[in-house]
């Protein structure tokens, strides 16, 4: 196998910066810049015991592709030989590892043994002098069984030590700023603000580990674990990676990542191996009980469980440690891929069935999603939903938990808050609808199975709102090609089950249609319709579709949507779907055929910008509270205008403000400080992250509109 080259250190100005390259709600793929390479997150830092290296760090780099590991600076400090060698040759040479080295500070030892002999300043200077990439200040471990007063004390002591620690670290050593606070969500949120704000000069913490959670994981108290995580995330700077201290069991990765964890660390791969246990993504299995391997790995290839049992403990546990590390790495790769494909929540959903404790925690998170509270946990939950792209191409598997998937909750919330009854009907009459027609027992694509049915009922009564009944709610017919509704996959019978009256009236209430007469119909595409009427109604439905999508995905008032589409012309595909929308001769926008969303064209960007009379957004300035605040805008620094105007992406660090209703994945405008249009594109990060991140792409620009 080709040797893996040593890493390339980051640029000096990027040291400690974190960028986000992909996201799926709170889950993100990031790049953390260090002197010994740029590490891709979410990732696991394998714990290396400097006295007992089950797998050599060099091999982890060469064969396992591990970019960063963690070891304990206190253990090195305590052993004179190790300490001397680390100080003279550096930690990378001591471990023989060329990648990023993270160290812990001895806090965990003080939790296990009661005390440590090193002072908070000394352990930071020691980490700095060994050439560590990311060190850890000496925090005070807050055990879940401590009293509230004791836990408050642990938070205060940790916060008091933070600025001296940052000062001691100087410009070269990046630092972890751990969050303590036991199982009290408010205390965790408070600790997060204190640690997030800590500064020495310009320097703050680089990463925030959530500490004090090992006892919870040992007791499988996962509900409290995720509650703590959500509470902490509410007040942490959104641009800094979050680490779950001491968590390394793959069973927890998908859920933790879906809630926003970027880094894990654990010695589980080696400790479990010493005890003849194999890690799997669904839990732990004992070697003793195995006839065959439940999961394959390079390490186990060609060996049977029986053969492994007959080997010496040392040989056996090394093989099992390798297997455990491979399984851990594979599950993290699976999670990263799920983020890229918008499926992290579904993976978490699947894994939640692996353990009753995890399922309990997952169901608790679902309750929070369904009904967010008013504290820090609710704040995090609302951010999670708002940062989830409501649209995605590809199938949407029906399952018992489908209604709680964040992208589905998001699109349903957009439908409930932004959809409006058409301002005028196809025959140019105006006024409230005379009836609601619900098409039931029809499967997608509805333009094939139910279009003529919809038109027939509209011809019969022009003032009709036509809705489609889907297993995840009612949708207006003009949104028939919007995912996830049109991409639901499952047994054919799922379309045969119309909702009951109670359910329907609740859904109609959400759409503002309570009290309107309801007619339920099955699709009948054989109906006879006058051709010219059919064409007229179809054109009206096409226009409604654009107005509805502009409202839902771009927060554009339906009246503005009507102005924009007044006299619109369309170009259609061979399958009769709108490809381009024109106003006069100008191309205004294009529906996205993969997910039913919209892509603006330059003319549409100009028009939608002109519809917005509020000043360009600025971080920290209050925003007007409106139901349709207009297409979201990102306001950039003058220095960036010439580049972005030519079509370059908007980079973090050049952003003066962003509208808070910006949705990653949905269209946005880029404007200068005077509100002039510079470009349009798709945001990757949220407005919170735009205010905090200093590196990476914020908006992928479709077109610059210089001059």
List contacts with ligand GUN (CB under 6 A). 104-105, 107-108, 136, 139, 141, 178, 211-212, 214, 245-246
Rounded Cα distance, 423 and 432, in Å: 9
In angstroms, what CA-CA distances link 459 with 90, 452, 477, 480, 518?
Answer: 80, 10, 15, 19, 16
- Closer residue to ligand GUN, CB minimum distance, 107 or 235: 107
CB nearer to ligand GUN: pick between 213 and 508: 213
The whole-angstrom separation of Cα 517 and Cα 178 is 58
Q: Which is nearer to ligand GUN, 38 or 214 (CB)?
A: 214
- What is the widest separation between alpha-carbon atoms in the chain? 93
Q: Which is nearer to ligand GUN, 194 or 518 (CB)?
A: 194
Nearest distance from residue 257's CB to ligand GUN, in Å?
19
Q: Which residue is nearest to ligand GUN (CB)?
A: 211
100 touches 41 (CB < 8 A): no
Shortest reach from residue 33's CB to ligand GUN, in Å = 22
Contact predicate 233/242, CB 8 Å: yes
CB of 179 to ligand GUN, least distance (A): 9
**From CA 385, how far away is CA 20, in angstroms rounded?**
18
**Shortest distance in whole angstroms from residue 105 CB to ligand GUN:** 5
Q: In the complex with ligand GUN, which residue's Cβ is closer, 143 or 435?
A: 143
- Return the number of the residue (20 or 123) whose C-beta is nearest ligand GUN: 123
How far apart, in whole angstroms, are the C-alpha atoms of residue 320 and residue 276? Answer: 7
Is 362 in contact with 255 (CB distance < 8 Å)? yes
Contacts of 502 (CB under 8 A, 6+ apart): none
CB of 36 to ligand GUN, least distance (A): 21
Contact present, 467 and 476 (Cβ < 8 Å): yes
In the three-class reduction of DSSP (H, G, I as helix; E, B as strand; rest coil), residue 707 is classed as: coil
| Catalytic, out of 14, 104, 379, 595 | 104
Return the beta strands (E) in 573-623 as ranges: 578-583, 586-591, 598-600
CA 705 to chain centre: 30
For residues 18 and 108, which CB has a smaller minimum distance to ligand GUN in the complex? 108
Closest CA to 57 of 82, 91, 88, 86: 91
Would you put residue 37 in left (φ > 0), alpha (ψ -120 to 50) or beta? Answer: left
Determine whether 104 is an active site residue.
yes
Please identify, using beta-carbon distances, which residue of 214 and 347 lies nearer to ligand GUN. 214
Q: Which is nearer to ligand GUN, 214 or 550 (CB)?
A: 214
The answer to whether the beta carbons of residues 168 and 125 sit under 8 Å apart is yes
> 222 phi and psi, to 5 degrees?
-75, -30
CB of 270 to ligand GUN, least distance (A): 15
Is 651:684 a contact under the CB 8 Å cutoff?
no
CB of 166 to ligand GUN, least distance (A): 15
CB of 34 to ligand GUN, least distance (A): 19
Which residues have C-beta within 8 Å of that of residue 53, sequence separation ≥ 6?
none
Rg (CA), the chain: 28
The minimum distance between CB 245 and ligand GUN, in angstroms, equals 4
Cα→Cα distances 120→137, 213, 527, 586, Å: 7, 21, 81, 65
User: Among 59, 62, 73, 58, which residue's Cα sits nearest to residue 127?
Assistant: 73
Closest Cα partner for 678 from 667, 669, 666? 669
Query: In whole angstroms, how close is the CB of 184 to ligand GUN at the nearest point?
Result: 15
Distance, in Å, from the CA atom of 384 to the CA atom of 25, rounded to the nearest integer, reads 5
Shortest Å distance, C-beta 195 to ligand GUN:
12
User: Please, what is the minimum distance in Å from the beta carbon of residue 644 to ligand GUN?
Assistant: 42
Burial class from Cβ neighbours inside 10 Å (0-12, 13-18, 19+) for residue 262 reads buried
Give the CA dihedral 614, 619, 624, 625, nearest 10 degrees. 140
Q: Which of 507, 500, 501 is nearest to 467 (CA)?
A: 507
Cα distance between residue 22 and residue 29, in whole Å? 5
Closest by CA to 272, choosing from 317, 337, 312, 339, is 317
**Least distance CB 138 / ligand GUN (angstroms):** 7
Q: Taken in order 601, 604, 609, 612, is the CA torsion positive or negative?
A: negative
- Between 245 and 540, CB nearer to ligand GUN: 245
Residue 395 CA: distances (Å) to CA of 24, 78, 392, 425, 594 = 16, 56, 9, 33, 11
Using CA atoms, how far residue 406 sits from 484, 523, 546, 576, in Å, is 12, 31, 24, 31
Q: Measured between alpha carbons, how far is 474 from 439 in angstroms, rounded to an integer?
A: 9
**Beta-bridge mates of residue 704:** 679
The set of catalytic residues is 104
């Amino acid at each position: 196998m080709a040797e893996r080259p040593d890493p390339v250190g980051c640029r000096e100005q990027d040291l400690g910066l974190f960028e986000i390259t992909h996201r799926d709600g709170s889950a993100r793929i990031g790049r953390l810049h260090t002197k010994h390479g740029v590490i891709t997150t979410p990732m696991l830092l394998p714990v290396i015991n400097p006295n007992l290296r089950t797998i050599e760090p060099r091999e982890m780099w060469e064969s396992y592709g591990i970019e960063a590991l963690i070891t304990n600076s206190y253990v090195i400090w305590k052993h004179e030989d190790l300490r001397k060698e680390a100080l003279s040759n550096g930690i990378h040479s001591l471990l023989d590892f060329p990648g990023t080295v993270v160290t812990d500070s001895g806090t965990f030892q003080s939790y296990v043994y009661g005390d440590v002999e090193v002072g908070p300043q000394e352990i930071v200077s020691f980490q700095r002098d060994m050439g560590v990439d990311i060190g850890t200040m000496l925090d005070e471990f807050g055990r879940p069984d401590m009293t509230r007063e004791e836990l408050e004390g642990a938070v205060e002591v940790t916060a008091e030590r933070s600025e001296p620690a940052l000062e001691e670290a100087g410009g070269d050593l990046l630092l972890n700023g751990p969050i303590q606070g036991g199982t009290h969500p408010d205390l965790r949120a408070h600790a997060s603000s204190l640690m997030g704000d800590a500064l020495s000069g310009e320097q703050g913490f680089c990463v925030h580990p959530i500490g004090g959670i090992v006892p919870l994981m040992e007791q499988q108290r996962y509900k409290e674990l995720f509650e703590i995580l959500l509470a902490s995330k509410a007040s942490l700077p959104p641009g800094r990676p979050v680490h779950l201290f001491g968590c390394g069991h793959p069973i927890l990765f998908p859920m933790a990542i879906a809630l926003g964890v970027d880094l894990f660390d654990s010695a589980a791969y080696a400790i479990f191996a010493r005890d003849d246990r194999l890690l799997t993504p669904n839990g732990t299995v004992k070697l003793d009980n195995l006839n065959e391997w439940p999961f394959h790995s390079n390490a186990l290839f060609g060996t049977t469980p029986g053969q492994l049992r007959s080997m010496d403990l040392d040989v056996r546990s090394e093989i099992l440690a390798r297997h455990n590390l491979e399984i851990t790495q594979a599950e993290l790769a699976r999670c990263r891929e799920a983020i890229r494909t918008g499926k992290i929540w579904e993976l978490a959903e699947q894994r939640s069935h692996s353990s009753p404790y995890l399922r309990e925690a997952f169901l608790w998170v679902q309750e929070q999603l369904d009904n967010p509270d008013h504290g820090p946990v609710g704040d995090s939950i609302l951010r999670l939903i708002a940062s989830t792209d409501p649209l995605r191409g590809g199938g949407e598997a029906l399952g018992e938990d489908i209604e709680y998937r964040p992208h589905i909750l998001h699109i349903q919330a957009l439908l409930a808050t932004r959809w409006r009854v058409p301002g005028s009907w196809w025959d140019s009459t105006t006024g409230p609808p005379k009836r609601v027609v619900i098409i039931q027992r029809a499967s997608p694509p509805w333009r094939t199975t139910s279009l003529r049915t919809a038109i027939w009922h509209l011809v019969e009564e022009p003032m009709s709102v036509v809705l489609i009944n889907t297993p995840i709610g009612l949708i207006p017919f003009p949104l028939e090609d919007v995912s996830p509704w049109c991409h639901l996959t499952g047994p054919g019978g799922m379309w045969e089950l119309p909702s009951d009256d109670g359910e329907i009236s609740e859904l109609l209430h959400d759409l503002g249609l309570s009290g309107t007469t309801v007619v339920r119909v099955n699709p009948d595409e054989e109906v006879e319709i006058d051709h010219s009427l059919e064409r007229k109604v179809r054109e009206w439905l096409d226009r409604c579709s654009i107005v509805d999508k502009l409202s839902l995905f771009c927060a554009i008032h339906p009246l503005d949507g009507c102005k924009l589409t007044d006299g619109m012309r369309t170009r259609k595909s061979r399958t009769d779907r709108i490809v381009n929308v024109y106003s006069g001769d100008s191309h205004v926008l294009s529906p996205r055929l993969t997910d039913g969303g919209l892509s603006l064209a330059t003319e549409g960007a100009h028009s939608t910008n002109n519809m917005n009379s509020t000043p360009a957004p600025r971080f920290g300035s209050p925003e007007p509270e409106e139901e349709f605040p207009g297409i979201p805008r990102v306001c950039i620094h003058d220095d960036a205008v010439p580049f972005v105007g030519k079509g370059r992406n908007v980079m973090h660090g050049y952003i003066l403000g962003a509208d808070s209703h910006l949705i990653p994945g949905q269209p946005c405008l880029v404007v200068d400080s005077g509100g002039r249009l510079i470009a349009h594109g798709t945001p990757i990060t949220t407005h919170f992250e735009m205010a905090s991140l200093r590196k990476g792409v914020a908006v992928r620009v479709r077109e610059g509109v210089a001059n």
